[in-house]
Amino acid sequence: MKAEFETYLKSLQATDVVLGRANKIFELYGQLIDGFDARGIFASEDINKEKKREWRSLFFFTDEYILEAKNFVSETDLDITFVIRSVDYMRMQFKDYEPGQPTTSESRFVVKGYLISELDFELRASEDNCERLWQICRKILMQNWAEEPEVVDNVRKPDTKGGVKK
């Protein structure tokens, strides 16, 4: 796994177990995808009532794919989906968080959305991780907003090169 990804996870107080699982997931994707070159990482997480971090999903982002490992600390449940021009809807929920401003222990940011493939996604962040999620929204999700699709008989017609037909 890239050193910058490990640094990011350590900034979230990831234990050796969490780092080991993240590295294993990264290696599995590397074995599966020729030329695997993740350009981003995001750990979807939340803080529970006992003030402990609960790890949910681990996301890697390439130029072509969003890769999600659900419940990555305890399971190996991998998703891969095409991302180019595929984001169709996003809902953002902010709690005690304003982009670009200092976060607090109560800061939360949740992003839910859909891709044109009708897959849904949910990314959760707490505390300082909120700003990273904001940057993922700006630099990856919004840059891959789907174009208006051609609709025939209430069915979207996908473009074979990614995105949808003009």
Ordered by where they begin, the domains of the chain are 3-148 (2.30.29.30)
117-142 average pLDDT score: 94
Query: What mean pLDDT comes out for the span 16-38?
Result: 96
Q: What string of DSSP letters covers the chain?
A: --HHHHHHHHHTT--HHHHHHHHHHHHHHHHHSTT----EEEEEEEE-TTS-EEEEEEEEE-SSEEEEEETTTT--EEEEEE-TT-EEEEEEEEES--TTS---TT-EEEEEEEETTS-EEEEEEETTHHHHHHHHIIIIIGGGBPPPPEEETTEEEB-TTSSB--
pLDDT of residue 162: 45
Whether residue 155 has pLDDT greater than 70: no
Selected residue with higher pLDDT from 163 and 131: 131
What predicted TM-score, i.e. pTM, was given to this entire model?
Answer: 0.85
109-124 tens-digit pLDDT? 999 999 988 889 999 9
